[in-house]
Amino acid sequence: MIKIVTDSCSDLSDEYLQQNNISVAPLHLQVDGENYTPGEDISYATALDKIAGAHDMPKTAQPSPEAYASAYRSAGTDQVLCLTLSSQLSGSYNSARLAAQDMPEGRVSVHDTLMGSFAQGFQVMLAQRMQAEGCNIDTIKTALAEYYRRSAIVVILEKYDNAIKGGRMNKYAGKIIEKLNIRGIIEVLEGKVVVVDKARGAEKTFQKMLERISTKAEDFSQTVIGIAHFHNQQIADKYRDALQSRLSPRRIFMGNIDPTLGVYCDAGGIVISIAPDPETFAI
């Protein structure tokens, strides 16, 4: 057996994680001088409320190597495959690798998903399915690499301050977008946040988002979509209904974004992940 480990940015439900015995190393949050670990000493919903009402720029911190080591030890004598948030967005990957160095050689393999939110979670689901089918780690990682190539994240932000201050967005592009009241359409490319298009006004942005998402797969009947939002349920539902009507994907997942990702998306942000169905994907 192979134990799957991930960090808390996958946006997968607690029910799924518990049912599949997937261990999670939590990212941490500091808001107005108070430290929190969402999901442990504060609920995700309350953490998002605190971020939305923060006076100063909230801070985030990757899981400690010890948090990963604890997750690895929970596997007993089984091998471990750890899938982390993009190394371009967080130090989670480095912490996972440091912890792996203290484990017996060959026991732990760490994989950089180069993604976050549901796009990271879908890779976790694929790895979990394949290990249950008896695949070895090398076979799973080969599949993950191809799965990543066919996956995408498209993001729309209502605010840009935190993304710029946190270094997740080019400050010059962000300031121009903000000054002109233009909404930037963002993708995660090679693990990095990149502004790929722009539109003026909510409805034009909505239509451009739909057009861009429509290009991300040839056959949406074999595709899943994840919509994670930060205090923007109404618009998230609007995207869900439009994407279901236009593309008829195999399944649409909905949820709140993880608070540590929410720091950079800020209130109103929506992250849409598009990927092959992890339950049927094969290469």
Residue 134 sits in a domain whose CATH number is: 3.40.50.10170
Q: Which domain holds residue 29?
A: 2-149
What percent of the chain lies above the pLDDT cut of 70? 92
On whether both 138 and 162 belong to a single domain, the answer is: no
62 and 144 assigned to the same domain: yes
> Stretch 251-261: mean pLDDT, rounded?
96
> Residues 83, 110: one domain?
yes
- Are residues 143 and 281 in contact, defined by beta-carbon separation less than 8 angstroms? yes
Per-residue pLDDT at 262: 92
pTM: 0.92
Residues 145 and 156 in one domain: no
Short-list 51, 31, 39, CA closest to 7: 39
Q: Any alpha helices (H) in the chain, and if so which ranges?
A: 14-19, 44-52, 65-73, 92-101, 117-132, 137-149, 161-165, 171-179, 202-214, 233-247, 259-265
- What is the enclosing helix (H) or strand (E) of 188? strand 182-189
Same domain, residue pair 33 and 132: yes
From the centroid of its chain, how far is CA 17? 15
Q: Quick one: 14 and 144 in the same domain?
A: yes
**Which among 149, 182, 212 is the end of a domain?**
149
Both 91 and 186 in one domain: the answer is no
Residue range 15-38: average pLDDT? 96
Where does a domain end: 149, 164, 180?
149
Torsion angle (degrees, nearest 10) of CA 28, 129, 120, 71: 20
Question: What is the CA 102 to chain-centroid distance, rounded?
Answer: 27
Q: ∠ CA 258-167-175 to the nearest 5 degrees?
A: 105
Q: How far is residue 208 from each of residues 64, 161, 163, 198, 239, measured CA to CA in Å? A: 39, 23, 21, 8, 12
pLDDT(110) > 70: yes
> Within this chain, do residues 66 and 170 fall inside the same structural domain, yes or no?
no
User: Are 30 and 106 in a shared domain?
Assistant: yes
Number of domains in the chain: 2
Q: Which CATH number goes with the domain that contains 222?
A: 3.30.1180.10
d(CA 183, CA 195): 10
Contact 23, 5 (CB under 8 A): yes
> Rounded to whole angstroms, how far apart are CA atoms 71 and 67?
6
27-33: average pLDDT:
95
- Report the pLDDT value the prediction gives residue 90, as an integer from 0 to 100: 92
Are residues 90 and 109 part of one domain? Answer: yes
**What is the pLDDT, as a whole number, of residue 152?**
97
CB atoms within 10 A of CB 22: 20
Task: Give yes or no for a contact between 193 and 85, defined as CB atoms under 8 angstroms apart.
Answer: no
- Average pLDDT over every residue of 151-177: 65
pLDDT digits (tens, 9 = 90+) for 181-224: 677 788 999 888 888 888 888 899 999 999 999 999 999 999 99
Packed helices 202-214 and 233-247: angle between N→C axes, nearest 10 degrees: 40
Q: Is residue 162 very low, low, confident or very high in pLDDT (cuts 50, 70, 90)? A: low
Average pLDDT (25-47) is 95
With respect to residue 57, please indicate whether it lies within any of the assigned structural domains: yes
Considering the domain architecture, whether residues 36 and 175 belong to the same structural domain is answered as no
- 190 and 246 both lie in a single domain: yes
Dihedral of alpha carbons 194, 198, 204, 207, sign: negative
Q: Is residue 282 part of a domain?
A: no
User: Mean pLDDT in the chain?
Assistant: 91
CA dihedral 166, 172, 178, 184 (to 10 degrees): -80
Q: Is 135 exposed, middle or buried (0-12, 13-18, 19+ CB in 10 A)?
A: middle
Mean pLDDT within 78-101: 96
Residues 232, 269 contacting (CB under 8 angstroms): yes
Q: Compute the distance between CA of residue 185 and CA of residue 212 in angstroms, rounded to an integer.
A: 9
Quick check: helix, strand or coil at residue 26?
A: coil
